Structure 1
């Protein structure tokens, strides 16, 4: 009999593994529906959807291993990171999904709320938050929307050697800023940004300062959520380290 492994669990969703099958249980049925639709539309390798009966989505395991984990050194080769960049470019060049994403104005409003909380609760010093808030503004500019994954952590990209075997966790997929995906992939692994960009290719909007701004913006926005859902944003190499490193 296969054992049931709890991969991740918090108040919003849980993922269980039974043998080669992952069961994703999401309290938000609309978000689970987005995940299934996004995988069907994405022109990159994704897990096979075995069945979808809301609120549960069953998918098959992918071959290979995660590109990296936040807070841990990556053992993947530069060529594997470049392959991830090439896969992202394929996604960004695809037709837009039919549903919208968050605007720069939405993000700016959320950033104000989170920065105020970080200071009021004494999570981070006021000057550290203020300086990172200024750095984050580089990302808050008009962008041409593309098909973004929306949660492209390196643990969501699976590779086998120098080949991407699949990308998982599409519940945040939407129309958005291409540089956000590139930033999230390299958050905590900035030494691989050059490798990712080598695979992604060049473009008029490929601004490293904006990518750095997204590193900061993402970190500022997620510290509270992580802390409230049982994760540690202060773990080595994670979000709070990213905020301190930017200075």
Structure 2
């Protein structure tokens, strides 16, 4: 029997790997329902659904390797990044999935609440939080809905050479802001944005930069509370500090966390 590997296991759900099969265990059947529906609608390569027996969804591993990981340089070629951009463009141009996506008011409320928590707990210097909150406001504008993946982390896009072989983890797919997907994929890999856009085409770079700040601010508490480290090199806190450097000043050191 193949060894069972725990891929990720936050409190709400877990993903296990057994050989070439991934088992996604989730007590909320809505997540699996949406993931299966989204993969069926997406016009790009997705994992094959092998079987489903709630609360477990079994999907096949996709060939190739992830485009990269957060916190380390991507060794994928510029052509592979461009291929990822072209695939994302096909997704964004596809008909919208028939369910509700994120609402602008809810995104704005999440940003305000998470920034208040970061400041109250001294997780980051106040000037880093406040400056990034100002930058993040650039994403808070009406957007034309596109079919977005919704959690397009760099580890969710697989390539073989210069070809996209699969995009995984579709439970957040919905109508939403196309720039959010582009920002999520290049978070911590800002230097690969030009390569991505070579395949994607035109995009609003200022809004992408705003989403880098917004996603990093909003994700930080969840990451800390679920055992992940947003302060690891190249991760969310480095993304936030880099915005301070772009303003022409060296960012202050982070204080010890009181969380």
Q: TM-score, normalised by structure 1?
A: 0.97
Deviation at 1:28, TM superposition (A): 2.1
Aligned residues between the structures: 244
Tell me whether 1:33 sits opposite 2:33 in the alignment: yes
Equivalent of 1:211, from 208, 219, 223? 208
1:1-247 alignment to 2 at 5 Å?
Answer: 1-202=1-202, 206-247=203-244
Deviation at 1:179, TM superposition (A): 0.3
Deviations 1:106-142 (CA, angstroms, capped at 9, x unpaired): 1000111000000101101112111110000110001
Deviation at 1:12, TM superposition (A): 1.0
Deviations 1:138-186 (CA, angstroms, capped at 9, x unpaired): 1000100010000001100000000000000001000100000000000
> Aligned equivalents of 2:112 and 2:201: distance in 1?
33
> Aligned equivalents of 2:27 and 2:127: distance in 1?
37
Deviation at 1:32, TM superposition (A): 1.6
Deviations 1:85-122 (CA, angstroms, capped at 9, x unpaired): 00000000100000111112110001110000001011
Deviation at 1:233, TM superposition (A): 0.6
> Aligned equivalents of 1:123 and 1:231: distance in 2?
14
- Any idea what SS the aligned residue of 1:25 has? strand
Moved over 3 A (4+): none
> Aligned equivalents of 2:52 and 2:144: distance in 1?
32
- Any idea what SS the aligned residue of 2:218 has? helix
Deviation at 1:33, TM superposition (A): 1.1
- The 10-residue stretch of structure 1 (114-123 or 26-35) with the greater mean CA deviation from structure 2: 26-35
Where do 5+ consecutive residues of structure 2 fail to align?
245-259
- Any idea what SS the aligned residue of 2:232 has? coil
> Aligned equivalents of 2:27 and 2:208: distance in 1?
31
Where do 5+ consecutive residues of structure 1 fail to align?
none
